[in-house]
Copies of this chain bind each other. A is one copy, B any other.
């Protein structure tokens, strides 16, 4: 069970600039073999290919996607593909790079005007889960590819690590403030709890079709459950 720790949730109590510095590495793990197109036509074709690739990958999966499917979808010749990408891996990298922004910046940031750890945690989890839901197909794709291509395994790892470290800092911070249980190692706790949320996200948004009868999980219930368990696990005070 590949849990996704490539995209992990949690709380963010740290300063924004640090976060950014952490996010840098996962952004560019792929070497740009081809230089970007010079002409306008080139740019258009390239963009069409990336868009088509995303569609085909999400529909057929990475392994079953044939390059000709992609070029067909992009309405260009098979050979044109190689003007922009060396192979399937490279288009996928382009697809992920393009979507990365939204996947990495859950968009919440910090809850304004409060220091309540519980509120911060909840907002953070909500933002994470919402982003996961938005990009569910891509996350599924990433999981699949990580099983097969080491480059993307690495990509997934870096993304997960960024979240885990960010959350670990948050935990350490709360421990220092006396708000969180000091008995646990912040890093390990972050791994466990970040993982917990990512598994829930994966199950809810990616594997949901697998579940035959089960009613789809209610989003808010998901948020409150993982938040509550997380808070409890770290023994946030004033809880009830």
Interface residues of A (CB under 8 A from B): 1-7, 61, 63, 139, 142-144, 146-148, 153-154, 156-157, 160, 181, 183-185, 188-189, 191-193, 195-203, 206-207, 210-211, 217, 221-222, 225-226, 228-230, 232-235, 240
Chain B residues lying within 8 Å of A192, measured Cβ to Cβ, are 196-197, 199-200, 225-226, 229
With a cutoff of 8 Å between Cβ atoms, the chain B residues found around residue A200 in the complex are: 191-192, 195
For the complex, what is the distance from the CA of A234 to the CA of B239, rounded to whole Å? 12
Give the residue among A144, A199, A222 with the most B Cβ atoms within 10 A.
Answer: A199
Cβ contacts under 8 Å, A210 to chain B: 153-154, 157
A3 interface neighbour in B4, B144, B232, Cβ under 8 Å:
B4
Q: Which of these, B143, B191, B207, contacts A157 with CB under 8 Å?
A: B207
27 contacts between A and B (CB under 8 A): A1-B7, A1-B143, A1-B156, A1-B157, A1-B160, A1-B199, A2-B3, A2-B146, A3-B3, A3-B5, A3-B198, A63-B63, A63-B148, A147-B148, A157-B207, A157-B211, A181-B228, A183-B240, A185-B221, A188-B225, A189-B225, A189-B229, A192-B226, A193-B229, A196-B199, A232-B232, A233-B233
Q: Which residue of B lies closest to A5 (CB)?
A: B1
